[in-house]
Copies of this chain bind each other. A is one copy, B any other.
């Protein structure tokens, strides 16, 4: 039942666009969902994509524009006049319209807003543009259904019908007083099952979760997830109902956040995709690699200071990548677990308890690995026993230190108000490489003496 994009369809559309066969184009795309139109548009070149956007009904293209990747959308919007963009925005919910308009230059924003015919819609968009992107105000839409606590159920049905026409999904009906202050909610289910002669005052639920326009987006996502909310009303400083946030916006936000943390851990500092330009990908990746390179310089210098070991204990140098890799892997594991705990706010208990736990855990892992290494080394590589002990003790120490760095650097950054995700990936592997090598050779020097 799902739409499948095919090369044949793309070729057919390209031919129809060349022939300017608008009738056949409209017919072909008539039953295609806007999200699929967006997929088709991503496959066409810019002129063809613009042609389709201009041709189709703006009710459909508005939604397709929303689904496009930002880069593609930007280029198409550049090809449209202010009036054409305004027509698309008229069809969108205020939150989507504000998102799109914020991608334009300020000069262009004004021109586009001036072309929006529905003045209330324009006003709402301008209001939403004021809020920070990562706050409840930046996520909310102005579309919602609200009723006055003083109305009767029958009396407000007509009013609600009118309001519902402009709202894609009703979810909840919010109840306000004469000053637009949020009092509670009415669920649609309650409405269906309520006797028609009752009053709003008698049937509304005075308990309602809400957020303030300045509540950070992350907190909104947490509240909505924790309490399984599908929509949450947003109030201003005076407790007046100014908008609402729906779960689909939060789904996108949660996905973006998860991807951002993952990318950060992989040493990618911007939200990039495989199909982005080489320049954009380089900008996201190169800074981390340069950081790692400087870390590498330090490890070269550290190794250089131990060159006295080279004569008698050359084999020590063969184990450097093994030790460095173990330090890096353990550090990344520890930091990933702590980061997810921080993100979910599920870390409880004292730092001391966590310290003891991390030491026990890494000590245990370290001993198991050291035994494998010692046994493997003796049989496969034929170490003498003192060398085996040196490598084993070093491995255990490196693993314990690496896991402590991986655990506590993110916690400390978080306490300082710095994004702890910075401390994963290249940062943790590089610093653990250096520490690991330093510990390894220091222990070797102590035991073997050189």
A-side residues, CB < 8 A to B, are 1-2, 31, 33, 35, 42-43, 67, 157, 160-161, 164-165, 167, 169-170, 188-189, 192-193, 207, 209-211, 219, 223, 225-228, 230, 247-248, 250-251, 254-255, 258-259, 261-263, 265-268, 272-275, 278, 281-282, 285-286, 288-290, 292-293, 295-297, 299-301, 303-304, 307, 310, 314-315, 317-326, 328-330, 332-333, 335-338, 340-341, 344, 346-349, 354, 357, 360-361, 364-365, 368-369, 372-373, 376, 380-381, 424-426, 429-430, 433, 437
Contacts and interface: CB of A to CB of B under 8 A. Distances in A.
Given A230-B169, A293-B369, A321-B437, A425 B332 contact: yes
Contacts of A425: 329, 332
A286 B370 CA distance: 12
Contacts of A430: 325
A162 to B, nearest CB: 9
Contacts of A335: 266
A167 B43 CA distance: 42
A278 B223 CA distance: 30
Given A274-B346, A286-B369, 17 more contacts: A35-B228, A169-B189, A188-B188, A225-B255, A228-B248, A230-B248, A267-B329, A273-B340, A274-B337, A274-B340, A289-B326, A293-B372, A296-B321, A299-B318, A310-B317, A325-B328, A329-B429
A325 B348 contact: no
A304 B43 CA distance: 51
Interface secondary structure of A, over-half rule: helix
Contacts of A381: 297, 300-301, 304
Nearest to A164: B189
A380 B293 CA distance: 14
Contacts of A43: 348
Contacts of A295: 325
Contact of A226 (B35, B265, B348): B35
